[in-house]
Amino acid sequence: MPASPAQRPADCRRSALYAALAQIPPGRVVSYGQLAEQAGLGRAARWVGRCLSQLPEDTALPWHRVIAAGGRLSLPAGSPAGDEQRRRLAAEGIALSGSRLDIRRHGWHPGRQSG
């Protein structure tokens, strides 16, 4: 019987997460839960958040394109990471209203036409 997503070795889980994260195109976002599902990790949204918070500062992975459910940014404005996320999203043409964005407009769904 195959191992459940929670039982897969941590290195394999991280590799799957990073591969899915790298596929998110500029100007599009996914939720932590969507990213977990796309990586084959089931309902591991909190684990995804922890892994993303541990990425090195100079990572090329688009961590800023991962948001909380419903289009809310989970990183607080005024924090270094929160300000960096807002700056990067704005540079990709994603308009924010407070700490929210239009998930219907900017959400990414692989295999489906976005836009």
Domain boundaries, the chain: 9-101
Task: Return the pLDDT at 115.
Answer: 47
Mean pLDDT of 81-88: 96
CA-to-CA distance for 51 and 55, rounded, in angstroms? 7
What pTM, to 2 d.p., does this model score? 0.87
CA-to-CA distance for 115 and 112, rounded, in angstroms? 10
- DSSP collapsed to 3 states, 49-103: HHHHHCCCCCCCCCHHHEEEHHHECCCCCCCHHHHHHHHHHHHCCCCCECCECCH
Domain 9-101: give its CATH code: 1.10.10.10
**Mean predicted lDDT score pLDDT of the chain:** 90
